Copies of this chain bind each other. A is one copy, B any other.
Amino acid sequence: MKPISKEEYDLKCSTRQLFELMSEKWVPGLIYTLSLGPQRPGKLAGRLQGISKKMLTQTLRNLEDWGVVKRTVYDVVPPHVEYSLTSLGEKMVEPIALVHDWAQENREDIAKVFGNRLASKTS
């Protein structure tokens, strides 16, 4: 077991794990949106442009398993369900917010890179 230098992007590197967690399509959006307060699935769906019912529930289930989201059911009719962040979930808001803030201030550069990528894919 050779020592791992600081520069190495090794398997147990937290950075790498964090990027892996956040690379599930709807995860950052859901966590960020939930950081605005507990919300019902309908509202969440409305805020996450393009998400399907299936992906919404599926991602929320995953986040529950991860210990990041809590599901609360109010036993009334019609059914009332609310999702909120756990304390672990609240922590995960931080890196997303960092990226979010940076992205807002650097729209131009992101747009360039994103555009180049799009162009190279279709051609």
Which of chain B's residues have a CB closer than 8 A to the CB of A11?
49-50
Question: Is the CB–CB distance between A21 and B103 below 8 Å?
Answer: no
A65 to B122, CA, bound (A): 12
A100 to B14, CA, bound (A): 8
Which of chain B's residues have a CB closer than 8 A to the CB of A50?
11
Minimum CB–CB distance for A72 against chain B, Å? 19
Interface of A is mostly: helix
A53 at the interface (CB under 8 A from B): no
Question: Is the CB–CB distance between A103 and B14 below 8 Å?
Answer: yes
Question: Is the CB–CB distance between B88 and A109 below 8 Å?
Answer: yes
A111 at the interface (CB under 8 A from B): yes
Question: Is the CB–CB distance between B88 and A95 below 8 Å?
Answer: no
Question: Is the CB–CB distance between B8 and A106 below 8 Å?
Answer: no
Minimum CB–CB distance for A96 against chain B, Å? 8
A73 at the interface (CB under 8 A from B): no
A67 at the interface (CB under 8 A from B): yes
